[in-house]
Structure formats: C-alpha cells, structure tokens
Amino acid sequence: MPIKLVTTATELRAESARLLTQKQGVSQGLVPTMGALHEGHAQLARTAAEQNDVVVASIFVNPLQFGDAVDLDRYPRTLDADLALLEEQGVDLAFAPSVEEVYPGGEPMVRVTAGRLGEKWEGASRPGHFDGALTVVAKLLHFGMPGAGLQAGGAFVSGSAGGLPAYRAYFGQKDAQQLALVRRMVADLNFPVEIVAVPTVRSSEGLALSSRNRFLTQEQSEAALVLSRALSLLEERANAHEPLDLESAEELVASQPLVEVDYFDVVDPRTLEPLAENCKETPFRGEGLAIIAAKVGPVRLIDNVPLNS
Ligand code: PAF
C-alpha cells in the first residue's frame, strides 16, 4: 500500500482511525524519527510493520533537543527519500508536522525533565538535550496513540468502547541513554504504550549507522571503526566470562589519532551507573552495557554493546 503523508495531528488521528477500521486492526506501532533515514531506521520500521496492523512513522527535526543552532540547521532533511524508505518497509502513515504544529504556542513552558539519568554521559556533553528529546517523545507518543488523539487545541478524545488497540513505539538500542530515559518516562508517568528496543544496525565493517555518518570523510569513517572494535573486545571478554580489561580496549581507541574519546565505560543498562570497578578485574557476570562516545572530525559518534554473561 502506498504510504500516506500527513502533516497535522488531526489528519493523523483521522487517518490512523480509518486504517484501523479498514484493516480491522488491533494494534498500532509508532516509529519516531528525525528523518535522514538509513538502514537502522528501516529496521525499526520493519519490526513495527511485522508486529502491528497499522504503522505510523514520524519525521520531525525537534529544535528543542539541539543545543546549537548550527547543528540544527545542518541536520540533513531528505523527506522524499525518507518516504520511499518507509513505504518499502510497510509503513502506512508518515507524520511530518511543522514546528508550529508540534509547538503551537512556541517553546513549551511545561516540559519533561530527564532528571539525574539525563545529566550524565550524553547529557553531560549536551545539556538540556534529553529534556528536549523526552518532551517531544511525550508529544509524539500522544499524537500517534491509536483510538484516541488530540483535537485541535490539544484536548484528548477517547477511544472506542470496545477497548483500545495495542500501542507500541520503537526505539534504537544505539541511542541507549535515550532508550533508558524513554522507558523511565513511560514507567514513571504511566504512558499506555509498550516500548520496543531494536538492535543497532552496523555497516559491514562494524560502524553503527547514524544519520551523521554522512559527514565523515573516508579516512574518518575508517578511523571510527575503532569504536566498535573496542566494544567487541569487551563483548568477547564478557562472553568468555573473563575480566573485561577495559584498559586494553581504551588503549586500542587511543591508538587512533583521529578519534577523540569523550567517555568509555561499562554501566548498568537501566540506571547507566558505572558497574563496580571489580568487573574490570574479576570475571564478568550478569548484565552490563559498554558505552562509548567520541569525536571523529566534525562528528560526535556514540555506540554501545550489551554485555551478558
Ligand atoms: O532518536 C531520534 O531520532 C530522536 O531523538 C527522536 C526520538 C525522534 C526524538 O526527536
């Protein structure tokens, strides 16, 4: 079925209700994106299409989560290619609202605050980023909710008497801190949605896909491979029930002069608190997440691998 592009919340609600009725659907999936889509987003959309009767993808470059106006301006906008990619994965509706549609009164006065979990790691380098991201995710989760929605002006209309369809939203494991925060927001504030995490998609050489990779030169892309190599080293150690030896992994990254590390650590996947020092010296047991962020040329890259033993 050809994808349908809608730009207002009212149209989105009407179209998703129409599709749910037409397909006698019992579930709706939402894939929130900022566009400039790549195979990682395709994987999110495919997973949503496999698991739901109706799939909505949002495309919105959210000014609230950019600290820097230059970064916001240069964020790639590729709507036609994005629509083609989404259609191929079986997405029914693309919701590409304007800034005025999402923030009709200008910058919102009341926002979601990410709290302590939003201040560390990425949050330390990008103050306010997660408050902005969570605020828009909260709004997108409301816009994309099946059987209920927002009337013009912001009031909720309730769903059908027969019970609401299941509602799921899809986020990439690559943005591990965003994922942990979205899960926390949904749990802490009782959002009626299931959050589904989709594993990171990598290039054949191992680089985690990101919309920002297009700004890397060939030399920088090659240098950036050291991030996933260092993470794989820790993963191998964890799988072999050996001490993680973070030092060797750090040395590997430091050997690449084009890569400027911001942080590299092993943390609890839910709280993102660093795991006890001793997991670096004694055999690794349990669950962890190895996280890394680095600047390569003009681009800040993040990556992570789940560690299970
Ligand atoms: O991960 C992203 O692309 C964005 O942070 C999101 C979740 C679409 C919110 O703007």
pLDDT attached to residue 166: 95
User: Ligand 1 centroid vs 39 CA: distance in angstroms?
Assistant: 16
pLDDT at 278: 61
Q: pLDDT at position 144, please?
A: 96
Residue 230's nearest CA partner among 257, 197, 207 is 207
pLDDT of residue 161: 43
What is residue 147's predicted lDDT score, i.e. its pLDDT? 73
Ligand 1 midpoint to CA 34 (Å): 6
**Catalytic residue status for 41:** yes
Mean pLDDT of all residues belonging to the chain: 93
Q: What is the CATH number of domain 211-301?
A: 3.30.1300.10
Tell me: pLDDT of 74 over 50.
yes
CA–centroid distance, residue 178 to ligand 1 (Å): 8
- The pLDDT score that the predictor gives to residue 279 is 73
**Closest-lying ligand 1 atom to the alpha carbon of residue 65:** 10
Could you give the residue range(s) of every CATH 3.30.1300.10 domain in the chain?
A: 211-301
pLDDT of residue 158: 45
pLDDT surpassing 70 at residue 119: yes
Residues 6 or more apart whose CB falls under 8 angstroms from that of 64 comprise: 103, 107, 108, 111, 131, 132, 133, 135, 136
Roughly how many angstroms between the first and final C-alpha of the chain, as a whole number?
Answer: 43
pLDDT (average), residues 191-214: 97
Q: Tell the residue nearest (CA) to atom 3 of ligand 1.
A: 33
Among protein residues, the one with the nearest Cα to ligand 1's atom 6 is: 33
Query: Does 205 have pLDDT greater than 80?
Result: yes
Which residue ranges have their beta carbon within 6 Å of ligand 1?
32-34, 62, 65, 133, 136-137, 175, 178
The Cα–Cα gap between 25 and 102 comes to 27
Classified by CATH at the fold level, domain 4-198 comes out as Rossmann fold (3.40.50)
User: Using CA positions, which residue lies closest to atom 5 of ligand 1?
Assistant: 133
At residue 90, the pLDDT reads 98
Which range, 191-195, 241-245, 274-278, has the best average confidence (pLDDT)?
A: 191-195
| Helices 39-51, 79-89: crossing angle, 10 deg rounding | 40
Question: Is the pTM value of this prediction over 0.85?
Answer: yes
- Confidence (pLDDT) at 118: 97
Going through the chain in order, the beta strands assigned E by DSSP cover 4-6, 27-33, 54-59, 93-95, 149-150, 156-157, 166-172, 194-198, 259-267, 287-296, 299-308
Percent of the chain with pLDDT over 90: 86
Residue 252: its pLDDT value, please? 98
Best residue for ligand 1 mutational test, from 31, 34, 122, 139 (most atoms within 8 Å of Cβ): 34
d(CA 267, CA 271): 8
Residue by residue, DSSP assigns 28-39 as EEEEEE-S---H
- Residue 160 scores a pLDDT above 60: no
Q: Could you tell me which residues come within 8 angstroms of residue 161 by beta carbon, excluding any fewer than 6 positions away?
A: none
Average pLDDT value for residue range 262-281: 87
Neighbours of 200 (CB within 10 A): 20
What is the pLDDT at residue 145? 94
Encoded tokens for 230: 């260092």
Mean pLDDT along residues 210-231: 97
pLDDT band at 152 (very low <50, low <70, confident <90, very high): very low
Range list for CATH 3.40.50.620 in the chain: 4-198
Measured CA to CA, the distance from residue 250 to residue 239 in angstroms comes to 19
**Rounded CA gap, 215 and 142, in Å?**
33
Return all residues near 182 (Cβ < 8 A) that are at least 6 apart: 134, 137, 169, 171, 195
